[in-house]
Amino acid sequence: MSKIVDDASAAIAGRIKALRSERGWSLADLSARARVSKAMLSKVERGEASPTAVVLVRIATAFGLTLAALAAPAEAGRPRLVRAGSQPVWRDPKTRYLRRQLFSSAECPLELVDVTLPARATVSFPASAYEFSWHVVVVLDGKLEVREGRLRSELATGDRLEFGAPSDVTFRNRGARACRYLVAVVRR
């Protein structure tokens, strides 16, 4: 695993613990709100387990945040130029899904995330992940199947999909090579 990915995992673990502490929540409180076991939360906070994307989304939603805001909190006074090697990168331990946080700002509700979904991989998110934000996906390279509830869309390079009302969403790459896509998120 790369140092950037390791650093991102450690930063996420510290952020979860800090947010829980700021709110005066016990592990049991966060567990109930996020629907994630206390044991898993404890391991994540101690850096003993790397949570999947689904677990992180549940935790972020419990805090009223987007995944991007949990993973790479926006800071005032950030540099205008951020080199590729300095952008936060996180890899899902289960699917190997890779997300690079391109842009997040405390002053602007826009977030940009570059995602690489490996060949034949699937990642799903609950409807609650979309309660606080509006999403548009643009396929940069490859093919991507997106299911929003019962609606199924097949996207190819250059296609874009604007999400509707919050529903469970599944991203699936049925291809033999990785699919890369951009997610634009506007926080509500």
Read off the pLDDT of residues 88-107 as tens digits, 9 standing for 90 and up. 888 998 999 999 989 988 77
73 in Cβ contact with 19 (< 8 Å): no
CATH number for the domain formed by residue range(s) 84-187: 2.60.120.10
What percentage of the chain carries pLDDT values higher than 70? 92
C-alpha–C-alpha distance, residues 120 and 162, integer Å: 23
Residue 141, strand partner residues: 180
**CATH homologous superfamily of 3-71:** lambda repressor-like DNA-binding domains (1.10.260.40)
Query: With a threshold of 0.85, does the pTM exceed it?
Result: no
Phi-psi category of residue 92: left, alpha or beta, with phi > 0 → left and psi -120 to 50 → alpha: beta
Read off the pLDDT of residues 119-152 as tens digits, 9 standing for 90 and up. 999 999 999 888 888 999 999 999 999 999 999 9
Residues of the chain with CATH 2.60.120.10: 84-187
Q: What average pLDDT score do residues 1-28 get?
A: 79
Band (pLDDT 50/70/90 cuts) for residue 65 is: confident
